[in-house]
Structures are given as C-alpha cells and as structure tokens.
Amino acid sequence: MSVTDTSLQSSSTDIGQKTLIAGFNATLLFVLAYLTADTVYRLATVLMARQLHIPGVWGLSRVRFLIADTSWWRQAVVAVYSVGPAVCLVLGIVAALWFWQRARLRRGLLKQYLVWLVLHCLNLFFGAMVADTITQSGFWYVPSWVFLAGNAVNVAVAVLSGLTLLALGYLAAPLFLQSHDSRTLMRYEQRRRLLWATLFAPWLLGSALIGLAKYPDMSTNEWLHLATLILALVPLAVGSTNELFEFTVEMPQKTRVAGGLVVLVVLALVAARVVLGHGLHFG
C-alpha cells in the first residue's frame, strides 16, 4: 500500500469518526431542544388553564382537562389551546435573534442547540396546526372556535401553516450552516454527509429516543408533532445544498463527544418521567 493510499484511508476514517460524533451530539441537542420547547408549550397551557380555574392533569405526553365538553366556553378554548403555540413562537423568535446576534460568532454547541430550538418552536406553532388538524384536537380548536365556519376553513388554515413552515425551513438554512464548528464537515463536498448526520439522523433517532423515554404514554398527537418537523427539515436541506457557504468560526471547537450534554439529556428525561410519570394535577 502506498503512502498516498494510507493517507486517504486515514482521512476517510477521520471524516467517518467526526461524522458519527457530530451526529451523536446533534441527536442529543435535538432531544434537549425538543424537551425545552415542549415543556414551555405545556407549561404555558397549564398556567392558562389554572388562571381560568380549569382542572386537569399534566402527563408525560399530554395535558388532559377534567371538565366536560359542555363546560367549556369560547374564550377559554381559544386562550388555553393557543397560549402554548403562541409562547413557543415567541421563544423561537428570541432564540433566532440570540443565535444571529451573539451565538453564531462563538465556538461550541450552543449554536446548534439554538437552531434546533428555533425549529422545534416554529414547528410547535405551524406544524402543530397541521398535526392537530389531522386529529381535530389541540391547536385545531382555535380556528374552529374563532371562525365558527366549518372544517373547510380549519383545513385552509392548516395548509397555510404548512406552507409557512416550508418557507421558514428554507430560510433557516443559513442558521443551520453557521451553527457547525467542524471545518471538515463544513466543506461543500461534505454537505450531504453533514445534512444526513446532523439534520435527518437526529430527527429520526431523537424522535425514537423521545418515544422510548415516554413509552407507553407517547400520544398520537406528539408523534405527529415530531413528524411535521420534516416540513421544515426538507426545505432547510434544499437551502443548505444551494448555499456554497463553507466557513466556520476562527477557532472552532474540536469535534468530540459532549459528555456533559449526555448527562444533561439523561437527567432531563429521567426528571420528566419522575415528575410527570403519574400525572401532575392542577386547578
């Protein structure tokens, strides 16, 4: 074997290792960002319900209200089912501004966490409208009770929300590309590898990990919320492929397993199971 062949083999091995580590860290960040956004979503819902003296149970994968359907009134339906998505939308905007004005110029994994947080928050507004329209629950109640014009209007709102998420996903491509420190993976010839390792694999593996952590309580709605994220990821991947940008910060962080992040994600999942496993009553 020649020196050139040995060098190429070593380079290929190095790229493969960096890809696996980057994908592993990205999956953890996906889960952590999702837990952040989902907790904010449900906490806002619970606080609004308490404010309106509506009792319920906050479980691992759903918030269940303990009042009869006939006891709801229009303002309560709109307030309770809209506050979670609305707060997430605001959080997503704040995270995007934080990323753009501060984090993108610094080394480390905070950049990727903020990008995933932005994507999850946008999805829990626009994607939730799509998912909840399918099951006719959750955020779907808001246009249903605001317009009182039949399900055709609700479907139209869901379609518009889906199209908006597609557009926002495409616009998020520059954020995604500027969130990575690896000079190797940021080279344009490695773009496909970067996208599969740090975008699509984390979505698939992270969603599976969340489902496993919440088994057997994982609800259909939550699965659909995770699924609708693809409406942002596909156009983001297209936008990233069209971008020739391949730079990173001047002194990027080395690609290595983030041990502290592993501990943080495990603790967050365990805490959710302990606190919410048997349901948290309110109201």
- Span 3-13, pLDDT tens digits: 444 444 545 66
Q: What is the pTM of this model?
A: 0.94
Please state, in angstroms and as integers, the Cα–Cα distance from residue 273 to each residue in 166, 173, 187, 278, following that order. 33, 34, 40, 8
| Beta carbons within 10 angstroms of residue 121's beta carbon | 28
In sequence order, the 6+-apart residues with CB closer than 8 A to the CB of 49 are 55, 56, 63, 65, 80, 282, 283
pLDDT tens readout for residues 75-85: 999 999 999 99
**In this structure, what token pair is assigned to residue 31?**
């889960």
Q: Within a 13 Å sphere around the CA of 197, how many CA atoms are in the beta-carbon half?
A: 20
Domain ranges of the chain: 18-40+81-276
Judge whether 202 and 26 are in contact, CB under 8 Å: yes
> 3-state SS string over 17-38?
HHHHHHHHHHHHHHHHHHHHHH
Judge if the upstream peptide bond of residue 216 is cis by omega within 30 degrees of 0: yes
Task: Quote the CA–CA distance of 33 and 40 in Å, as a whole number.
Answer: 11
Position 29 confidence tier, pLDDT thresholds 50, 70, 90: very high
**End-to-end CA distance of the chain, in Å?**
73
